[in-house]
Structures are given as structure tokens and as C-alpha cells.
Amino acid sequence: MSYVTSLKCRECGQEYPITPVHVCETCFGPLEVVYDYERIRKVLTRAAIESRPHNLWRYRELLPVDSEPEMGPFSGYTPLLHARRLGAQVGLNKLYIKDDTVNHPTLSYKDRVVAVAITKAREFGFTTVSCASTGNLATAVAAHAARAGLRCYIFMPEGVESGKIVGSTIYGAKVITIRGNYDDVNRLCSEIADKYGWAFVNINLRPYYTEGAKTFGFEVAEQLGWRLPDHIVVPTAGGTILPKVAKAFKEFKDLGLIEGSFKIHCAQAAGSAPVIAALHKGTDLILPVKPNTIAKSIAIGNPADGYYVLKAVRESGGWGEGASDPEILDAIGLLARTEGIFAEPAGGTTLAVTLKLAHQGRIKPDETVVVSITGNGYKTLEAVAGIIEQPVIIEARLAEFDALYERLPNGKRAVAGAA
Ligand SMILES: *Cc1c(COP(=O)(O)O)cnc(C)c1O
Ligand SMILES: [Zn+2]
């Protein structure tokens, strides 16, 4: 049973039936799913949600599927951790980590959007699914397609981390890398979608796919005890997750499930920061850039939904910053040493930007702030290779260890993270 009524153009308001289309025929604006909120209000209570399994479908009235969802039975409902050691070190007492490094099955926030998109692809009767990806989407689509028994083609720019190539191929997907950057890949995929009629999760299924990102926000609000954080910092690549987290908070407020207000802040890698540039300039015009950063999963120079990121940030009174590659690496190390969470560079970006916003006084020491950690570092080992100390090799003799121990700055090292 679905509470979806139609698709609607975000720009001119024209309505469309529920089909695999994503742009308005009249104005080329993006299409968005419309729900019957009056009906949802009658059934979706805190108690109803709390009674359901710990996966993203616990918010199913606010997701665009008709069938009983079979995809993603363990996707979503990732931990929200009060990061006390990290918080103490950086002077933020209510610092929380929303930890999608452990999202099932492929360890990034993309398992949320893909669980919804693949469910929808099956409802539409597609037999082949595909995507244009910076890496994490590839692994999520490949894994979910395998479980759904669908054929799968993955398109990525050359130079993505090997963990993302191996992590897609292993599921039986055909992986194609393109000479060029993500924006080149995306352009090609739009043509392939038209010609071959496949379900591209982030192109022709985009209106459904993006709705899955709301579950990140729903969970934050529920896990904070049905409250909004004062601040949430969210990374931006193509601009899906940030506006959808803001939308999630607004939907919960409109449905009377939560109260209060929030500021949403945008984090980009400085080497791919077209949205931050526009934000800082005070313009709506996002000038495409050529990405150059170790944060490959968020290296999109021409973000499809960048405009809506700006809109959501400004409406909430939030801000945003870029983080350089060295700042990203420092933040990855800091999070790992203080909280035992190994994030990929997108997570390092988000934490680095959070620290900048705190430094600027935009986030106060006693305000609640959620740092969105969207992907796992085990898939991007290359990124941290340069900051990792190589292990020492010794013979299996106590005397050798004794001699080594003498030379190690042991006391200092053991408490370094706690300083
Ligand atoms: C895809 C991705 C994002 C955000 O991308 P959007 O297109 O802006 O939603 C953030 N972090 C990681 C790890 C990702 O893979
Ligand atoms: Zn339109």
C-alpha cells in the first residue's frame, strides 16, 4: 500500500504519473514524489514506527514503494553515537556521529537510496539496472541487484579506488570505467538510459532513489529521542542527501512527530567545492569545477541538485565549508583514534568542516551537532596510505621486543589520542 499520489515538477508544478521519468517535459525541472500527508498523519505515529524492525522501511509510509519491500532488510538504522572522547578533544559536548560506515550490505549511505531504487525497479518490471557512480553507489547497486536477481551494469570514472571496483565486480556486475570524470560518466549514462531502456537508479529512477536518503534524517531525529539536533553537517557530491535530510526533518515536523528547529551545514572537499563557492559568494549560480581531491566519492564538479543544497542550507540558517586533502586525512585519523570509527574521505571531509564551523563560532560547545559519516574507510585504503606508519618487523624473541620497546615513545603514544 502506497501513500504516493504522483510525481511533480519542482519548478513548474506539473504533475506526472508514477513512471520511470525524472525530468519535466515542459521546463526540464527535476521531478519529485508527492505523498498524501493527510492519510499518512493518521497512521504514522512514534509508537507505530518504534514497533517495527530496525531497518529503513520503518518509515515506509514516507517512501515511494507499493509492494512489500524485500530489498534492504538490514539497511539503515545505523548507530547514532555520542562521541564523548572526540567531543572532549574538540570542545563540543554534544557531538554525535551518525555512522553509515556500517550500513548493510555495502558500508555506505548508498545502501539506503539503492534499497528503495531497486525495489522500485522491480515494481516497474525492469530486468537490468545500472548507475553512474563515484564508487559507493556502484557497490550498493551491484549488491542489491545480485540479491534481486537483476542484470547490472556499473559505470565509473577511471581512477576510483580498487575497493570500489572489486566491491562491485564481485557481485557479478559488469563494471565499465570511463576515461573522464564523474560528470562525463553521467552524461554518457543519460544517453545509454534513453537508448537501452535500463533502470539507472540515479537517472531515470532518481525521484524514487533520492527519497531513500530521507531515512538518514528520520533516524537521526528518532535516535536523538524524537528531537532535532541544533546542527547537522552533511557532505555534498551530487546533492542528494543534504536536501533530503532537511526534507526528512520537515516531514516529521509537519506530521507532528517532532518539534524544534535545526541548521543544516554543507561539507565539500576543497578540491571539488562548487556548492561551497556559490554559498560563500551569495549566489544561486553554481559554476562547474574539475574535481581534484582524494575524496573521490564526493568528487562531482557539476552537482545535479546543487541548487537544492544551497536552498536547504540557506532556509535553515546553516553554512558550509570546504576541507583540503590534508585536513580530510587529519580528520579521518582523529575520528579513528578517538572513537574507533574508520571513515572514508567523505567522512573526513564532514568532520573537518564541523571543526571549522565550531572554530568560527557557528556551532557552540553545548549545542547538539550530528556529523554525518557516510562511508567506510576500508574501501578507500589508498587514501590513507601516506599517513599510515608501517609496522615494525622483529624476530620472535623477547630480547628483540625488549630492545624495540626501549626505543618506542611508548607512554606518549599510548595516551596520544586522549591528550
Ligand atoms: C554519494 C556519497 C555522498 C553524498 O552524495 P550526494 O550525491 O550529495 O548525496 C556522501 N558520502 C559518500 C561516502 C558517498 O558515497
Ligand atoms: Zn516543470
Same domain, 298 and 414: no
Same domain, 324 and 215: yes
Q: Quick check: CB of 240 below 6 Å from ligand 1? A: yes
Residues of the chain with pLDDT under 70: 410-419
**Closest ligand by atom to 201 CA:** 1
Q: Is residue 124 part of a domain?
A: no
> Which of ligand 1's atoms lies nearest the C-alpha of 239?
8
Q: Is residue 269 part of a domain?
A: yes
Secondary-structure percent of the chain, ordered helix, strand, coil, rounded to 5: 45, 15, 35
First-to-last C-alpha distance (Å) of the chain: 54
Same domain, 356 and 402: no
Same domain, 372 and 274: yes
pLDDT score at 408: 85
Query: Which of 374, 378, 380 is the best mutation target for the ligand 1 pocket, counting ligand atoms within 8 Å of the beta carbon and taking the most?
Result: 374
Assigned C-alpha cell, 209: 532513489
Cα 9 to ligand 2 centroid, rounded to whole Å: 5
Q: Is residue 222 part of a domain?
A: yes
Q: Which amino acid is at 276?
A: I
In this prediction the pTM is 0.96
Q: Is residue 64 part of a domain?
A: no
Same domain, 225 and 249: yes
Q: Quick check: CB of 298 below 6 Å from ligand 1? A: yes
Same domain, 323 and 355: yes
Same domain, 329 and 414: no
> Which of ligand 1's atoms lies nearest the C-alpha of 244?
9
Cα 303 to ligand 2 centroid, rounded to whole Å: 19
- Overall domain count for the chain: 2
Other Cβ atoms within 10 Å of 38 Cβ, number: 8
266 is in which domain, residue-wise?
80-104+211-384
Sheet with 174-178, strands from edge to edge, namely 174-178, 151-157, 128-132, 199-200
Same domain, 293 and 416: no
CATH of the domain at 274: 3.40.50.1100
Query: Which of 216, 244, 297 is the best mutation target for the ligand 1 pocket, counting ligand atoms within 8 Å of the beta carbon and taking the most?
Result: 297
Query: Which of 98, 101, 109 is the best mutation target for the ligand 1 pocket, counting ligand atoms within 8 Å of the beta carbon and taking the most?
Result: 109
Same domain, 352 and 215: yes
Same domain, 287 and 365: yes
